[in-house]
Structure 1
Amino acid sequence: MAHGSKKVILLALGANTGIAIAKFGAFFLTASASLLAEAIHSLADTGNQLLLLLGMKKASKPPDERHPFGYKMESYFWSFIVAVMLFSLGGLFALYEGLHKLQELDELAAAGEAYEMNRPEVAIGVLLVAIILEGFSWFVATKEINHLRGKESLFQFIEGSKSTEIIVIWMEDTAALVGLFLALGGVGLVMVTGNPYWDAYATFAIGALLVVIAFLVARETKSLLIGEAATQESQDTIRRLAEETEGVVLLMNLRTMQLGEDEFLAALKIQWAAELTVAEVVERTNDLEHRIRTTIPRARYVFVEADVFDAEKAKLPEFPS
């Protein structure tokens, strides 16, 4: 999965770099606010993809004494930083630029001067080329997601996925493609109606879109960053393996936590039959841990604790008010 995600990120990085350069060039020729918002958006996306690659590299570091469970969650942290950048450098800047454009137009109107967009055909041409390039990047990202999600709906996959990179790239590409159509609509309406305010309105729409996408990306990555459980399928499989083990009286509880895209931690508390010797409990515990890791390779860390069920001890502790 990591290889597929990296391929999609590299493709998006190349596309956004070229698109950002073209958009900035078109902005300097046309002075279109929506084009500037889109140029900054592409620049932010380029930086975001570099951050995702950095996160993937850091996540590949092996465990050490200070981080005994490894660095896999680095990818979640950098994905969250991407959401912050998308919100600030993308969304807030576009909203600011839209407001600035409105003020400029109001000042021109108050002075009795007319605003005229320079060379709008250049803006149209650049936006159409950008739509083609961004559309291809979005198509590749969507194809990878469809491959990974199987029979799950898109919403279920986004909610349950433990890989943030491919989700972030797909959301960014979706926002970029919609933003390009908004910018194209704004410039086109300025040309058709002669009303320059459409350019500012399109800029506001782009800003609002990026803020919403940033919120969704942050929401998905935050859940994993603070400790999300393994998939329900994995938990059900662990429960089945434990309850099938000879000598298990009761699986008292199971706690899991995702440590990265392809690994998680599982902690089980089990009541064993009273007649078993210590040596037998140790042997069956080791066998259970081995079967869990063999059946679910993502269960890299498995801890099984022997205990006797107590109704009072089993209650969850109350959180301090």
Structure 2
Amino acid sequence: MIAFIIRRLLQTVIVLFMVTLIVFSILQVLPGDPARTLLGPEASPEQVEQIREDLGLNRPLPVQYITWVEHAVQGDLGKSIAIKEDVTKIIGEHLPKTIYISILSMVLAILIGVPAGIIAAIRRGGKIDSLISVVSNFGMAVPAFWLAVLCIYFFSLKLGWFPVQGYTSPFEDFWLSIKQVIMPVICLAFAALASFARQTRSAMLEVIMQDFTRTARSKGLKENAIIIRHTLKNAIIPVITLIGLQVRNVVGSTIFVEQVFNIPGMGRLVVQSVFNQDFVVVQGCVLVIAIIVALTNLLIDISYGYADPRIRIK
């Protein structure tokens, strides 16, 4: 198991290296000059050149990349071009909000999606199975931002159940915080919920047809015991892998959902930084998001190895 974990750690390091290289390269070729954006269109060429020198933008790209990575490893992600604050501090103020709604979304998706898939597999061909399949197909097809607009229209403007936008920390006002995050959490969780339901249903149907399931029935075990102790234990393995993939999708969807609901999280920060051509903040945000997703996938891989010992050998 230790060798398995070491291999996954090395793969994670390689992925993070590739992410930093790609992000740095892409941001360098984007149109616009951050120094010109910072000083305004009436700045003289001498002033622009001075700012470029202060920011290190006049250095060769390999030198800029190495310097950025060295500082990032030490926790220094640079200083924002637009608001003149440390990027680490800015991210520290926005990241908890995104983590909060993302965790709630994943928990909701797992708690509803996995049992729905189990029920659909047990009631295969029935009305409940058909309903869950239709809802799952709809959930995987509908965009998160479009669902967010629908939620605002019906539940806020028409029914008045929830606030239209905003964010309040649960430590300041718990009930107001819950009301404000219900719609964003549903919008983020819907696609993941649908994926979990479909994957669980498919895995359950495949395991139900295996010989050990028929043997358990022939021994006279109750159906609930067969489902929980035998079928679900083997069918849940692919779902564990899917959790890692859905974390990436949920975090990516926060860019749209936070914009619609005016939540000051990482997604909204990235969008604002792109419009402001604040490439230092964008680099820092993408790096932090990549680290979170990579570490999540690492934990999923390790748990997958514990759930299925054959994976460790491979």
Which has the larger helix fraction?
Answer: 2
Which has the larger strand fraction?
Answer: 1
* CA radius of gyration, larger in: 1
- Structure with larger RCO (C-alpha < 8 A, sep 6+): 2
Flag whether TM exceeds 0.5 (same fold).
no
